[in-house]
Amino acid sequence: MNDFVNTFVHPEDAAALKLMKSIPGFDLVVKKVLDLSYETLLYGINMASKIRLSEKQMPKLYYRLVIICKRLGIDVPEFYLEMNPYPNAYTFGDTRIFLVITSGLLQYLKEDEVDSVLAHECGHILCRHVLYTTMADLLKTGGDALGLLGPFLVPLQYAMLYWSRKSELSADRVGAIISGKDTIVKTQLRLAGGPEEVTGEVNVEEWAKQADSYEEIRDGKTWDKFLQIVATANLDHPFAAVRVREIMKWCDTPDFQDARKYIHEHYAIKNRCPRCGAKVEENWTHCIYCNTKL
């Protein structure tokens, strides 16, 4: 699986991770995060304030994640629903990885778009991003808890945020592998642009070209470049137009087709429900989508 992951990880993700690991104090921060039992803290918060999904709790939504994980060959993380009107999803942890989606995401997006988001989050798991994502969140929201008062803390924070932005490009590729180019682009547009009656009129090709115009400014005069660095320094996600441009470019390469072929050959769920056509697991007695006996 690691060899497969290396074929689609975005090169800027790999380069940023290498840079981050080279910063003095990085190994110490990793140790501190593990020593603090931050993962246990998050688990307690999840159990107390969110709804944990399972075979017995909102099983239809839960099994949609199970199917995606099966298709990627990864273990199913703990899955939580957060009552929050803002559309969002995130994945944290290390030995106890968990994925959270908000009620706002379910209300705002269509089913195939939600699945695209779930595939993106599973992409972080597949690419082994999750420990570093958890560290970046801890540094951003509560770095003082680590007891790191040395001069390396600030540059490490910015390096982790820079890597976080690049890691999203790799996770987007996994979303495309599972959901396809059109769905991943449509989902990005929905999350960036608003309701479907608005985004349905957007020319995505023209929107993606805006990323080229942005990069001309970012890579231009020294002062303009500095301003763009300042504008993005505290962001943990790249700008939407950049993400769409990157995923559209990659989906037009042979690497994308090879990745989809690999997933299909190694992790395809071949059984389907005779009534609704949904993919089903071998141990299911009934289709979770239409309740047909199998």
Q: Tell me the DSSP string of the chain.
A: -HHHHHHHS-HHHHHHHHHHHTSTTHHHHHHHHHHTTHHHHHHHHHHHHSEEE-SSSSHHHHHHHHHHHHHHT-PPPEEEEE--SS--EEEE-SSS-EEEEEHHHHHHS-HHHHHHHHHHHHHHHHTT-HHHHHHHHHHHHHGGGGT--STTHHHHHHHHHHHHHHHHHHHHHHHHHHH-HHHHHHHHHHHHH-SHHHHTT--HHHHHHHHHHHHHHHTSSHHHHHHHHHHHTT-SS--HHHHHHHHHHHHTSHHHHHHHHHHHHHH----B-TTT--B--TT-SB-TTT--B-
Model confidence pLDDT, tens digit, residues 122-134: 999 999 999 999 8
- In this predicted structure, what is the pLDDT of residue 250? 97
Spans of the chain below 70 pLDDT: 1, 141-152, 269-270, 274-277
- In this predicted structure, what is the pLDDT of residue 149? 47
Model confidence pLDDT, tens digit, residues 250-290: 999 999 999 999 998 888 766 777 666 677 777 787 887 77
Model confidence pLDDT, tens digit, residues 159-171: 999 999 999 999 9
Q: Domain coordinates of the chain in residue numbers? A: 2-267
